[in-house]
Amino acid sequence: ACLERDWVVEHLPAYRATCDSDPTCPETGWSWPVCLEQAVVDPFEARECLASVNAKTAFDVGNDFSSLNSLTNSLYWIATRPGSKSVGTHARASRSSRSNSSSSTTTTAVVTTSSASLQSSTPSPVTGQDMLILDGIEDHEVPLGQPARFVQRRPLSTVPPGNIFRSAHRVGKEFTPGETLAGRQAPLPTNIWWENAAMAQPGKKESNIFQMPYVVIAGAQVMHVMQPFNAGDGTEGFDESSSLRLGSAVTQHGPVVQAWDELSLTLAWHSQPDTGMTVPLVRGSPYITAEYSGVVPKISALQKLRPSPGATGPAVNVDGKTVPCDGTMFEGAVISFDMQESDTTWLLFSPRGILWACSPTPFALAASAPLNGALRVAIANSCTAGVGAHHCRSRSSGWNAAAYKELLTRYAGSYPTNATVDLTVEGDVGVTSWRWGVQTMRGWPTGSLLQLAWPVHLPLLLAPVRQAAAMNAATPFQDIRGTATAIVGSSWRLRYNLMPDVGLRAPRPIPQEWRQDLLQALRGTTGALWNGSMPDRDFDLPLNYQLGVGDTYFSGKLLGRLARLIVVADELGESQDPYFRDMVVRLEHRMEVWLKRDAATPFVYDSSWGGLLSCGCLFDDCGGKCTPHCSNTIDPPENCPALSNAGMNFGNSIYNDHHFHYGYFVYAAAVLAKFSPSWERQWRQQVLGIVRDYANPSWADSSFPVARHKDWFLGSSWAGGILATVNGRNQESTSESLNAYYAVYAYGHAVDAPFANDLRDFGRLLTAMEMHAADTYWHVRKHSKIYGEDYGHQVVGILWEHAATHQTWFGGAPYVVSGIQLLPFSPVMEWFVKPDWAKLDLPIYQAQCAADPECKKGWSWPVCLEQAVLDTTGAYACLQALPKDAFAPSNAAAGGNSLTNSLHWLATRPQAQPPPAVAGRPLLPDSGRMPQHQRNREDGVRLVEEAADALIDATTVLSAKPGNARGQSHAGQHQVAVIPTNTAHPKVQVVPATPDADPAAYCYMADTSYHPLDMPGQVPTTGGDAQSCQKKCARIEGCAHFSLLPDGSCHFQASYASSVPHPRATAGPAHCAPFRPNAMVASEDQQPPAAAPVPDPVVQSESPVDGHQQPPVQGICTVGQEVGCPGDSDVRCSGNQCCPDGSACPSAETSFSGCVKGKVKDCLAGSEEADYIIRRNSDHHKSVLRGRRANQLSSLAKASAGALLACIATVSLAHLATRSSSNSNATARWRRPPDQNHPCFVDDDGSYEPVPPQSARVAGGMVMPPL
């Protein structure tokens, strides 16, 4: 109560500073109160403070000042502060590639049952519950009931990628690891912030590393250190002639990479195997540190030393005293010297006991003897005399050089050598915790760590941290990332706002008033602006991508487009329609052609770097006269064309844009994980191979680097790959980077696997990091303090490490610069395209697009979707004005989007207004179905009512066919007929059926055709009727459907084709099932017959909506579905596999003959066991049965009408339902049938819900004929 927060904020810095500067403070036990006072403003920092106190004497009972306290009581105080809500167990991952690292230690607070002390430990893995971390969070940041979850960064898979994909090893010097990585084995980083040094020749300008705040170049013997300068218009430069050089007085060889982690790189130079210099480059350190082992340190420059005031010649300042630079030996802790040409003051922080000699021209400081220890250098002032050409222009007035020098000196004794990154999720807040391993220079007191933060960091830190930082002296660093701010502390906690954990869906449901437009685009008759006439439900990839021939970028975008359509269809409640399953199956097939080991353009594991590459494809379609194919060979994989062609597939083989490409594939896999879980299980390792390539969370994965593209310090990503450039790393399309990490989150959210939760949280955090950094550095606000007032653009096209350019890799048209940052559109874009920035960008983007006709070729739709952030009515009008081919796959920018997805974006905006009435727009009947997760009991009642109507409609049609007269009997077969009555419901009875029923009555579909209209390799024929067209289809391998058009042309389609309305056309399957109904439908006065015995199920079908197991449906599956083997349901098989008894799997293809014997059980659609599918009846808009696709009956969620019709056929319609004939709006309730155990119903609360029937199959035939 007495330690009020406001007072602590003012008092604590002074208390901490005086204690740090006086060695007697920690020695006499006065340091622990600093930590406990710190807990008032930041419990986490307080815990770190406790970890730094003297482990032997801090709470010694012999110490008068601490005898009343203990470590337990101190931790208790921290844990019970109002801002310390979460206590988590953190298992710290070891640092990959640290086997040769220095023996730096970190001090960790450890609580065990056997002791309570402060222990010093190396940064090795901590297992079990032996580390207690107290996570400080403010009260308002975590809702009640949202405990912190520590993200376990375990390997996603231990399966070697060479077991899944072909493996290639690069040979020669081209695109192989550079000199600094000599002797290193995969996995190696390919897009990391220091990649230049891994690829360029040491000492070349292209090898520069932007350590922040310094640019460093690692030469063969020395490390060059310099400050970058503002070159105007969003660019910066650096001048090697102004650099300070860290090296040795003896010849050294290097550099070589010794170790790295998310936030640091250690380079080493050696004069002998056990002697040399190492430089731990830690992001954000205002110092550069060199550790020496048995060699003589030497600091040098190419510049002249500026004469000190009052000195007779060149001089340096040593611990506040002027010392001539004439070769005289001197000793000191802080050596200050001014460089004349660059107008820069440098500080050298020396370990105690070292003698130095100074040479003025060229400047050098050399030690008198070998050193075993560390020294540090730092820029204290880059505009010392006010004459500097580079840095004096940006220097703010009133800058206090003396205060910053004092700040550097105060914290120079403690230096970071490495870092660990821990991740937690606290409700909708994600936290990245950075902890640096800290060492102390010889002879210097142990103190806190001084680091620098940039504008991208400050909003993520707690208010007390920002307030304390504001009290520190200003720094001299203003670069392309903004102004650097000094922060004291050996750990940071960066808090990101996470997108809601909603999975694939939008954060809010689709309003009812938008359903009409969405359904019209998805499954209507007027087309969806991609091929002139076809709706989006029939979208398919171009033929070459269907065959897996081509690149991974455009194919990935089109896979993502199809996947998005499936998600939107589900949100519209369409997941039980047959076209929905068709779309899912189509996506399965389109993914598989890329994932197979023998794919036309296979993925290849690169064992030199540790990554997944596309083999590349030398495309050939004979000028349009033959099937698209790749003319290159893929065996051995070293012959893959991409391995020797950096430009192929957008630089995929040099690790350019992997996250852009592969994010689309992972998103498609996430959709299949939700709607086809068995497919995901079958292809999981291939999918994980792609995820691991760009989003591997674990240092323990021996095949892939951690988060290949991520810059953990900035939060954004780098896309450039293994190319060294003077401008450093770069990234163009941040929205596609965002999509890649969102896909990881979506996959983790959808998949049912042990790694799911951690992958979901990992993806969610990576998404938030990317979003925040991209909004900071790619979205430019007015009066930007980052790029300066002279930067005249509202958006960055390509961000480099040393430049922010308003252009793209494929052109400099202004509209493409905006557009490339706005695709693809998925729900995650809501938190990226913020209204304040959209107000700046939209008018410019609109004007640019209107002024250039080329914009209409695929780049105009992002204008509409950005406008929707501000105005959905205007955005709707914008979509209405798009050209008819706006979303054609041939439009590069539009290939990954669709009209349906665009309308979905508009409909789910927070401020979405109802779409305006558009004159002449055709109305599309809406079934009114809501998404599965929103259905209630009344929805189920209404569906039963529709199914009963559909049965009456369908049987009336059958009874009216010529030759099907009532009372006629043939071979004991019967059909259902309806007898009109004066009662509310007609009587239904069994009438004889002909043995050769006309297939047009129950098998063919009128006013329908299949699209795509022609399967690959087939051309239409002419002449003949529907039956002759069907027979031709039956003779063609792979033909599943035929379509007879009004002009008499007969077309043939594969199984993935979808049915569409087509006036006066006739369509049907390759084969019609026999018309053999054996079920009785009772009259109104009869009791329902007893249910037939139910055989053991062959397969348990899965819901396409939520992935949960549904009740078993007899004898129903699709090719390749995971099912139980005959005689042993514990043994599972999938598709063309053999069971233990030697028989083919029940879900194998009909033509499969690779087992000892054929199928003992056959669960495929079209077998004798099941023959159902649903069709939309164009007259009544109800669901009726047609065709030969039994999988549609796998659950009520898939095919409600199909399941219910089978039930209705076994019970009396009169007993099934009672409707109010006097009130058409009355709610229909279903009576309990006399047979209360009938499998069609679940007795819940006196009303009934339909479920998939257990008696859907009876001896000798089907419950209902296919209609």
Q: What is the DSSP string of 590-611?
A: HHHHHHSTT-SS-EEEETTTTE
Amino acid code (one letter) for 581: R
DSSP codes joined into one string, 1161-1207? S--BTTSTT----EEE-TTT--EEE-SS-GGGGS-TTT-HHHHHHHH
| Whole-number Å distance between alpha carbons of 191 and 182 | 18
- pLDDT (0 to 100) of residue 649: 96
Is pLDDT of 431 > 80?
yes
624 burial type by CB count under 10 A (0-12 exposed, 13-18 middle, 19+ buried):
exposed
Over residues 1118-1150, the pLDDT tens digits come to 887 878 888 765 577 778 777 777 788 888 888
> What average pLDDT does the segment 1211-1224 reach?
30
At 746, is the secondary structure helix, strand, or coil? helix
Question: Which of 244, 360, 384, 229 has the alpha carbon at shortest distance from 301?
Answer: 244
Kindly indicate the confidence band of residue 90, based on its pLDDT and cuts at 50, 70 and 90: very low
Torsion from C-alpha of 63, 69, 74, 77, nearest 10 degrees: -150
Both tokens assigned to 1235:
């047979």
Specify the higher pLDDT residue, 1222 or 20. Answer: 20
Q: Number of helices (H) and strands (E), helices first, in the chain?
A: 27, 56
Whether cis (ω within 30° of 0) applies to the bond prior to 123 is no
How far is C-alpha 198 from the geometric centre of its chain's CA atoms? Answer: 27
Is pLDDT of 1002 > 60?
yes
Q: What is the value of pTM for the model shown?
A: 0.69
Is pLDDT of 1175 > 50?
no
Over residues 1047-1056, the pLDDT tens digits come to 899 999 887 6
Over residues 782-822, the pLDDT tens digits come to 877 899 888 999 999 999 999 999 999 988 899 999 999 99
Both tokens assigned to 348:
């050298």
Is pLDDT of 929 > 70?
no
Least confident of 75-89, 823-837, 937-951: 937-951
The C-alpha angle with vertex 1226 and arms to 1220 and 1228, in degrees rounded to 5, equals: 75
Is pLDDT of 427 > 90?
no
Amino acid code (one letter) for 1222: S
Over residues 6-32, the pLDDT tens digits come to 788 888 888 888 888 887 787 777 888
Kindly indicate the confidence band of residue 84, based on its pLDDT and cuts at 50, 70 and 90: low
- pLDDT (0 to 100) of residue 130: 24
Is pLDDT of 964 > 60?
no
Torsion from C-alpha of 752, 758, 762, 765, nearest 10 degrees: 100
Amino acid code (one letter) for 310: G
- pLDDT (0 to 100) of residue 685: 98
Whether cis (ω within 30° of 0) applies to the bond prior to 628 is no
Over residues 22-74, the pLDDT tens digits come to 877 877 778 889 999 989 988 878 887 887 776 567 787 777 677 788 888 99
Beta bridge partners of 1077: 1262
Is pLDDT of 1250 > 70?
no
Over residues 125-150, the pLDDT tens digits come to 322 222 222 233 232 333 333 567 89
Is pLDDT of 296 > 70?
yes
Is pLDDT of 416 > 70?
yes
- pLDDT (0 to 100) of residue 875: 97
Specify the higher pLDDT residue, 1105 or 669. Answer: 669
| Whole-number Å distance between alpha carbons of 547 and 527 | 25
> E strands along 925-1057, which residues?
974-979, 987-992, 1005-1011, 1021-1022, 1041-1044, 1049-1053
- β-pairing, 603-606 vs 166-168, is parallel
Contacts of 249 (CB under 8 A, 6+ apart): 295, 296, 297, 298, 366, 367
Least confident of 462-471, 799-808, 1168-1177: 1168-1177
For tokens 């359509």, the residue is: 565
> What average pLDDT does the segment 1199-1203 reach?
42
| Whole-number Å distance between alpha carbons of 772 and 1063 | 52
Kindly indicate the confidence band of residue 307, based on its pLDDT and cuts at 50, 70 and 90: confident
- pLDDT (0 to 100) of residue 1137: 77
> What average pLDDT does the segment 485-505 reach?
96
Both tokens assigned to 932:
């599965």
> What average pLDDT does the segment 224-238 reach?
93
| Whole-number Å distance between alpha carbons of 475 and 468 | 15
Least confident of 34-48, 593-607, 680-694, 1001-1015: 1001-1015
| Whole-number Å distance between alpha carbons of 706 and 700 | 9
- pLDDT (0 to 100) of residue 83: 64
| Whole-number Å distance between alpha carbons of 117 and 1052 | 78
- pLDDT (0 to 100) of residue 364: 96
- pLDDT (0 to 100) of residue 44: 77
Torsion from C-alpha of 879, 882, 884, 885, nearest 10 degrees: -100
At 419, is the secondary structure helix, strand, or coil? strand
- pLDDT (0 to 100) of residue 1232: 35
**Residues 843, 795: contact at Cβ < 8 Å?**
no
DSSP codes joined into one string, 260-299? E-SSEEEEEEEEETTEEEEEEEETT-SSEEEEEEEE-EEE
| Whole-number Å distance between alpha carbons of 288 and 246 | 9
How many residues would you count in the chain?
A: 1267
Neighbour tally for 1024: CB within 10 Å: 14
Least confident of 541-555, 757-771, 805-819: 805-819
| Average pLDDT score over the chain | 79
Neighbour tally for 1246: CB within 10 Å: 9
Over residues 1067-1094, the pLDDT tens digits come to 999 988 665 433 222 222 333 333 333 3
Q: Rounded to whole angstroms, what are the CA distances from 200 to 206, 472, 654, 727? A: 6, 38, 14, 13
Least confident of 142-151, 439-448, 723-732: 142-151
DSSP letter, residue 565: H
Over residues 684-717, the pLDDT tens digits come to 999 999 999 999 999 999 999 999 999 999 999 9
Least confident of 459-463, 668-672, 1013-1017, 1176-1180: 1176-1180
